[in-house]
Amino acid sequence: MTILEFQARFGTEEGCREYLFCSRWPEGFLCPACGGRDAGAETRRHLWICTGCGRQTSITAGTVMHKTRLPLRTWFWAAYLVSTFHPGISAKQLQRQLGIGCHETAWAMLHKFRAAMVAPERELLKREVEIDEFFLGGYEEGLKGGRQHGKKTLVGAAIEVRGRGSGRLRLQVLPDSQASTLEAFTKRTTAPGAIVHTDGLFSYSGLPKLGYDHRPRKVASVGADEQLLPRVHRAISNLKAWMHGTHRRVSPEHMSVYLDEFVFRHNRRGTPMAGFQTLLGLGLAHDPLTYREIIDRAA
């Protein structure tokens, strides 16, 4: 969706409310208490009140906007910026772009969005996967101005092979590169039976026993113009550029949060609007609604 389309649809509180209504009740209002289909609206508190039994239902319940004092518009625009703006947006930028009064509010919004980025990434990778581990960080800005060598964090990466391209990505902070750690990472990310490409590191040699079709590749066996594990390395170099560009001062304790954000962006790079819905906490039960569908249903 372009910024103009977004403005046309979500430029008013009414437009945002309509979208929430359609996400919750795609077939029209349905009272959770009595099954009644008629309701009156109390728009200030985002409530729908059943005509039959009087039960109040909030259209923001279960979303990041529940009990918010901010206009819905602000939330919708924040989620739009966070899900479509590359390489990402800081709390300060969000505050400035949306005219949010205090920095803490913008920070809290980003924090809620980041929490929503973790949840949907549980499904195991399938069929054919590249797995590798690498060090990240070590370029934190020092107090004295110049770059200091911060502590590096070991990260495991697993990515699906989709033809010549890549599918879904998983990243995780690892304590070490021992066999038990890398085997646990593989089990947590990749479905048994999958073809797993790794380098020749001995720690991966137990994968066949765990039911994987393990295909380790040695550097010497790869042609000069052919990269070892090209998809995972492309993802790693994108991650490094992103971390370096937007999140210079990530300490090792907070690394996981940023890895989750990167994975979220990577896995939705073709469908930013699906990311938008996930951030707001909407539409998890069905496919994203198109503008047309919402207009048709509201009519």
CB of 29 to Zn ion, least distance (A): 10
Binding mask 94-133 for Zn ion (x = CB under 5 A): ----------------------------------------
For residue 30, give the nearest of 59, 68, 64, 65 by alpha carbon: 59
Q: Answer whether 148's CB lies under 8 Å from 239's CB.
A: no
Q: What burial class does residue 224 get, using C-beta atoms within 10 Å of its C-beta: 0-12 exposed, 13-18 middle, 19+ buried?
A: exposed
**DSSP single-letter state for residue 151:** -
> If binding is defined by CB under 5 A, does position 53 make contact with Zn ion?
yes
Structure tokens at 91: 């709390």
CB of 54 to Zn ion, least distance (A): 7
> If binding is defined by CB under 5 A, does position 33 make contact with Zn ion?
yes
CB of 55 to Zn ion, least distance (A): 5
Q: How many residues bind Zn ion (CB under 5 A)?
A: 8
Between 34 and 298, CB nearer to Zn ion? 34
CB of 39 to Zn ion, least distance (A): 8
CB of 70 to Zn ion, least distance (A): 29
> If binding is defined by CB under 5 A, does position 259 make contact with Zn ion?
no
Burial 60-74 (b: 16+ CB within 10 A, else e): beebbbeebeeebbb
Structure tokens at 120: 């949907």
Question: Under the rule (CB under 5 A), what is the footprint of Zn ion?
Answer: 31, 33-34, 36, 50, 52-53, 55
